[in-house]
Amino acid sequence: MKIFGFAGWSGSGKTTLIERVVPLLTARGLTVSLIKRAHHEFDVDHPGKDSYRHRHAGCSEVMLSSSVRWALMHELRGAAELTLDELVARMSPCDLLIVEGFKRQPIPKIEVFRSANGKVPLHPDDPHVVAIATDVRIDSPLPQFALDDIAQIADFVCVHNGLA
């Protein structure tokens, strides 16, 4: 399983870029999965739903299953957040595991940079950034792609990971 990241500041367009790249990767016959880092408390179900009620009753894990999908929710209940390695170990095998966020992790990644954010680029301080997807030209020796160069970004991800 190849692991490749998309990192950048909040609002840079990571999710949108990944959402546009994944169909091109799967069209090549690749099995693609994703781990996304959330920086805030989140919920995948809502008050009143059975799974929500079971979690709030104290269940450590709640699995939902249907003929279309299944989902497993695990409540940490004060335990430490899992590391990226621990999360990866829980994933089913795939050709490419995309990691969104986790910008400080030592994995190869594309930095998604949007000038309007007013933030400094990550790549000068991160040797694991292997390319940049951006809305402006940046002074860097790294390969750069416009945010809408989806086909070129997908090609780069495949070549970089030996999946071309």
Q: Is residue 59 part of a domain?
A: no
Mean pLDDT of 46-59: 88
The rounded distance, in Å, linking the Cα atoms of 97 and 35 is 7
Q: With contact defined as beta carbons under 8 Å apart, do 7 and 112 qualify?
A: yes
pLDDT at 155: 98
Q: Is residue 61 part of a domain?
A: no
> β-strand 109-113 against 2-7: which pairing, if any?
parallel
DSSP states of 67-122: SS-EEEEE--TTPPPPPHHHHHHTSPP-SEEEEES-TTSSS-EEEEE-GGG-PPPS
Q: Is residue 115 part of a domain?
A: yes
First to last CA, the chain: 14
Residue ranges of alpha helices (H) inside 58-111 are 84-89
Q: Is residue 76 part of a domain?
A: no
Q: Is residue 53 part of a domain?
A: no
Mean pLDDT of 82-110: 95
Mean pLDDT of 18-44: 91
Q: What is the CATH number of the domain that holds 130?
A: 3.40.50.300
Q: Give pTM, 2 decimals.
A: 0.91
pLDDT at 128: 98
Q: Residue 42: pLDDT above 80? A: no
Domain holding 13, by residue range, is 2-43+81-160
The answer to which of 38-52, 74-88, 138-152 has the lowest mean pLDDT is: 38-52
Please state the domain count of the chain: 1
